[in-house]
Chains A and B, each alone.
Chain A
Amino acid sequence: MHATVCDYIADLVQNSVEAGASLITLEISTLPEKIEVAVSDNGKGMNSETLRSAVDPFFTEAGKHDHRRVGLGLALLKQTAEAVNGSMKITSQPEHGTEVGFSFDRRHLDTPPPGDIALTLTGLLTFEGDYELKVIRKSLKDEYRISRSELIETLGSLEQITNIALTKDFIKAQEENLLQ
């Protein structure tokens, strides 16, 4: 089990980036009784056989890591969702993309804490590559949206340390406002 919900989110978005997606949408809702997360991408997708194996901890997609057998992300997520009275769902279509959604019951004792959402989102915006990440972030009270393209348009390269630090401050301010 990962330490925080953010770790699962980071894992899913990193999968999307590695699947060659040019558009990734991430929605995170923190509600009093549950946390809901949905990630969808237009990456290379999986056929039904691969999809079935994707949650198997002993499976990894050949080619993604030649000669190695790694790939625990989805398996960890499934295990946790089952352990904390939550749910998870994956749908995928080859050449079209993948959607993964999960929900954890916050009242369950074993549900991991949310983690640092601002820091996680900052990290997810700075992977190598040319991809768009749209974030929709909701609480019971409010919501905000940010996209990688508008941040790059505003700041310039998101690999520059000063811009990464500004991105983190910016998202932190949005989070504080959201959870006030």
Chain B
Amino acid sequence: MAKLTLDDLRKLRDEKQKAMNMRDPENKSAQIIVGMGTCGIAAGAKETFNTIIEELTARDISNVLVRQTGCMGFCHSEPTVEVIVEGMPAVIYGNVDTELARKIINRHVISRKLIDNHICDKPAMDIIR
């Protein structure tokens, strides 16, 4: 690949944006937050993060914010991913490998259904704000 400049990047962004605006004017957004503390990193949170980006991009879903944060208090169940979809309860999923990450996009974000057996309950006291 030839070296990209920031100007090239800007052009790519404009193209994407045009395609996006044509596709979906309705902007119901969701948020996906990946835990990236030492615990998350060690358990493979980067692969999870990457899968989420790839899956969303492959499915042309653009109205999702993807963020990263530190340890969410579930070191025993890393990688952890918090999913906030409008009209649904905010949920933290644990043990999110790449397969579950894809499931989260397809089932939770797209079909709006919770995924059994991976929901974490009662986080450590210090992360309850």
Contacts and interface: CB of A to CB of B under 8 A. Distances in A.
B57 A161 contact: yes
Interface stretch (A41-49, A99-107, A119-127): A119-127
Q: Would you call the interface of chain A mostly helix, strand, loop, or mixed?
A: helix
A76 B42 CA distance: 10
A11 B36 CA distance: 8
Nearest to B10: A154
B13 A163 contact: yes
Given A11-B41, A162-B57, A127 B3 contact: no
Given A70-B38, A166-B13, A173-B1, A159 B65 contact: yes
B56 A161 contact: yes
A11 B40 CA distance: 10
Contact of B41 (A7, A128, A151): A7
B75 interface: yes
B71 interface: yes
A168 interface: yes
B53 A165 contact: yes
A14 B70 contact: yes
Contact of A173 (B3, B57, B66): B3
Nearest to A153: B6
Contacts of B13: 154-156, 162-163, 166
Nearest to B36: A14
